[in-house]
Structure 1
């Protein structure tokens, strides 16, 4: 979905992303309950990621320069695995990793012994190798610190306070669909809410909602059919 094409109706495109919100070319705002499947779990411009990426661009992404980021990424993943009680975490690029169960940050389920993790680096699918390693290493550290932060607890409290759509169940920050669950994307978009583009994906509670966005979610759940 390059350039945000296909996420919004009527030929609209995502032109800007800030925090847990997306904006189209007309300036309409959408609360993001998809978050690129977890790649934007910490928002669309988290922490020091922008500075790290800018520094790597300045170094020359396409030049064969030595980089410390792969080793840093491996150490960061090991620290994150230790924090959540997992033996080892793998990224989607790691060969057979896609066959492993996925660990979801702030889920109420215990972490698998070996798990796939989607790190909160929104540009992960677009970057060159040194950019990718730098961004993922920083994202892993940001995620590890986030797990024990007041912001994470506030986000959990927010998720618990929101109604659960019919045919779904809540797990921490997530709403998990049953096999028969429907996904009313167009009705959601009409209310300024972005849901996953394909059925079967989890919904992810944003880090914050305005009063209006909360009312829109409650109204959507009220007309949501299981």
Structure 2
């Protein structure tokens, strides 16, 4: 019988986290953890993306948190269009919608090519993760934007204009997303591919770009998660989330990862 891993159950095994910097978390005792979970990809740019804190502070100071029409929505769509311009194969996806619901637009949850073995079919909503190729054969693509800590619903780019009208975003969400999109665009234009490191390639891991999937026995994953925490590494708390290699690793990070994963049987 396969044990169903519950994300919150494993996250509760963590100590209280006091602060975060880049891809590292620090507990109340000062111990540092290398974050290979990254909030399922929401912290792909790190836990403190450049300029995000100041952006949110400025928006919050205006006192408008509710999803009313405002300038931040236009800034978000401008940033998203600029990002699409640099992604090969995305030029035809000129229609962008924001939905506050995880089932926004009437579309089902997006299929993740990291896990889905079936061929993508026309009309299927496909998930795009930063660091992977754009799914140019899809019709509707959900974009995973690295905005840590804020649940923002869905951002979907489409080939046509058949999707329902999008929702009004909160200025806080729209402003945070826009800032992270610009940081992401700069990162993708200048950073070397993380996947070249191939740190986790080999049983029980399968790597695709910066993402690594656990292919071992699910019954043993809770034990593995606890061992990783003891070693100073945060693994995904669910098999539905991949390990994510950070955009930059210190020499100490590389040694830690090689030592821990190299010692697994």
TM-score by length of 1: 0.82
Residue 224 in structure 1 maps to residue 228 in structure 2: no
> Max radius of gyration: which structure?
2
Residue 153 in structure 1 maps to residue 160 in structure 2: no
1:104 aligns with one of 119, 126, 129 = 129
Match of 1:192 in 2: 232
Change (3 A) 1:174 1:53: same
Q: Could you tell me whether the CA contact under 8 Å between 1:31 and 1:193 is conserved in 2?
A: yes
Match of 1:116 in 2: 142
Looking at both structures, which has the greater relative contact order when contacts are Cα pairs under 8 Å and sequence separation is at least 6? Answer: 2
Report how far residue 56 of structure 1 moved: 0.3
Contiguous gaps of at least 5 residues in structure 2: 1-7, 111-124, 154-168
Match of 2:117 in 1: none
1:141 aligns with one of 182, 207, 220 = 182
Residue aligned with 2:25, SS = strand
Q: Which structure's residues are more often helix, by fraction? A: 1
Q: Could you tell me whether the CA contact under 8 Å between 1:76 and 1:137 is conserved in 2?
A: yes
Match of 2:48 in 1: 45
Q: Could you tell me whether the CA contact under 8 Å between 2:22 and 2:47 is conserved in 1?
A: yes
Residue 172 in structure 1 maps to residue 209 in structure 2: yes
Residue aligned with 2:207, SS = strand
Match of 2:171 in 1: 130
How many residues align? The count is 216
Q: Could you tell me whether the CA contact under 8 Å between 2:203 and 2:215 is conserved in 1?
A: no
Report how far residue 172 of structure 1 moved: 1.1
Residue 7 in structure 1 maps to residue 11 in structure 2: yes
Over the aligned positions, Cα root-mean-square deviation in angstroms equals 2.9
Residue aligned with 1:59, SS = coil
Report how far residue 219 of structure 1 moved: 2.2
Change (3 A) 1:165 1:36: farther
State the distance in 2 between where 1:89 and 1:65 align.
Answer: 19
